[in-house]
Amino acid sequence: MKVLVAVKRVVDYNVKVRVKNDGSGVDLTNVKMSINPFDEIAVEEAVRLKEAGKVDEVVLVSIGSAKSEETLRTGLAMGADRGILVNTDDLAVEPLAVAKILQKVTEKEQPSLVILGKQAIDDDCNQTGQMLSALMNWPQGTFASEVALDDTQVTVTREVDGGLQTVKLSLPAVVTTDLRLNEPRFASLPNIMKAKKKPVDKLTPAELGLGEGDIKPRLEIVQTQEPAKRQAGIKVVTVAELVDKLKNEAGVL
């Protein structure tokens, strides 16, 4: 059985992001980039399925600039077998475009299971997995906190409002990962070295049969704003004063 895992190169979760002066987006110069944490969980899950003997091959796909190869190497160091880089250069691809590219890759690779992060921590869209499922007409198990795979179906425990929901999907299927699915492993230096030698195919959307119109942005970013700076607090002496301020100044009582 083959598993396809989608990985995205995003601003590292430790970075305090800054907005560009002109408000056109986030400043990425000299900013540490990493694999999207939810995608890292997806890679880990796929590698664990392989270690458990349920999967023969783990294929990674990343969509973005040539630098996304770094992200593929991170996943390869964790134990994936090979990578596919779909180079979109500097074009900002939106979830639907990504889902269309993934659809083409999925048709080409014929995996039994596609695992994606539930969302990327840069745009927080949470759309790609669902869109891919619709485009492929495959069942979807989103926000997975547990995945059990057998030959014909996958059982997914989903994190939903107020509890857990368990669904059974027949294969092939799309699964998106939630935070508690697993704890990704430490990629050690020997494995980073081995990952250097693993194959990465480089493709373009055109080579996958997608035209410019298929992947061009449909949204226009009007403005990007930093959150308002936190105001300095004040100290109150008595409970009465606190209540007064909450009532009359903060207006929350």
Partner 1 sequence: MSNDPLLQPYQLKHLTLRNRIIMTSHEPAYPEEGMPKGRYIAYHAERAKGGVAMTMTAGSAAVSKDSPPVFNNLLVYKDEVVPYIKDLTDAVHEHGAAIMIQLTHLGRRTRWDKAHWLPVVSPSHNREAAHRAFPKKLEDWDIERIIKDYADAAERMQAGGMDGIELQAYGHLMDQFWSPLTNDLDGPYGGSLDNRLQFAFDVLSAIRQRVGNEFIVGMRYTGDEMMDRGLSPEEGFEISRRLTESGMVDFLNVVRGHIDTDPGLTDVIPIQGMANSPHLDFAGDIRAATGMPVFHAAKIPDVATARHAVASGKVDLVGMTRAHLTDPHIVRKIIEKREEQIRPCVGANYCLDRIYQGGEALCLHNAASGREQTMPHDIPKATTKKKFVIVGAGPAGLEAARVAGERGHEVVVLEAANVPGGQVRLTAQSERRKEMISIIDWRMAECERLGVQFKFNTWAEADDVEAENPDVVIIATGGLPHTDVLSRGNEHVISTWDIISGDVKPGKNVLVFDDAGDHAGLQAAEIIAKTGAKVEIMTPDRAFAPEVMAMNLVPYMRTLQALDTTFTVTYRLDAVEKDGATLKAHIGSDYGGINQVREYDQIIVNHGVIPLDDIYFELKPHSINLGEMSHDQLINGSAQSVVRNPDGRYQLFRIGDAVATRNTHAAIYDALRLVKDL
Considering the complex, state which of residue 37 and residue 130 has its C-beta at the smaller distance from partner 1: 37
Q: Is 233 a binder of partner 1 (CB under 8 A)?
A: no
188 interacts with partner 1 by CB under 8 A: yes
**Contact track, partner 1, 49-88, x by CB under 8 A:** --x------------------xx-xx--x-----------
Note whether 127 binds partner 1 by CB under 8 A.
no
Q: Which is nearer to partner 1, 42 or 132 (CB)?
A: 42
Give dist(CA 246, CA 116) in Å, integer: 45
Please name the amino acid found at residue 29: T
Give 34's strand partners: 10
Tokens (6 digits) for 3: 């598993």
Among 192, 200, 203, 242, binds partner 1 (CB under 8 A): 192
Count the alpha carbons within 13 Å of 210 in the hemisphere toward its beta carbon.
23
Q: Report the nearest approach of partner 1 to the CB of residue 190 (Å).
A: 6
* Residue 85 vs 210, nearer CB to partner 1: 85
Listed ranges 160-168, 192-200, 205-213, 215-223: which one lies at the site for partner 1 (CB under 8 A): 192-200
Q: What secondary structure letter does DSSP report for 188?
A: -
Tell me which residues in 194-223 interact with partner 1 (CB under 8 A). 196
Helices (H), 55-117: 68-77, 95-109
CB-CB neighbours of 194 under 10 Å: 13
Contact pick of 30, 137, 152, 225 for partner 1 (by CB under 8 A): 30
Name the minimum Å distance from CB 175 to partner 1.
Answer: 23
Cα dist. 214→50, 86, 109, 123 in Å? Answer: 34, 14, 20, 20
Q: How many residues form the binding site for partner 1 (CB under 8 A)? A: 21
From residue 168 to residue 187, what is the string marking binding to partner 1 with x (rule CB under 8 A)? -----------------xxx
Q: Is 190 in the site for partner 1 (CB under 8 A)?
A: yes
Q: Is 226 in the site for partner 1 (CB under 8 A)?
A: no
Tokens 């995205």 correspond to: 8
Is the distance from CB of 138 to CB of 102 less than 8 angstroms? no
Cβ contacts of 231 within 8 Å, gap of 6 or more: none
Exposure letters 169-185 (e unless 16+ CB within 10 A, then b): bebbbbbbbbeebbebe
Residue in 148, 160, 164, 193 binding partner 1, rule: CB under 8 A = 193
Which C-beta is closer to partner 1: that of 124 or that of 186? Answer: 186
Neighbouring CB atoms inside 10 A of 6's CB total 30
Query: Where on the chain is the footprint of partner 1 (CB under 8 A)?
Result: 30, 32-35, 51, 70-71, 73-74, 77, 185-193, 196
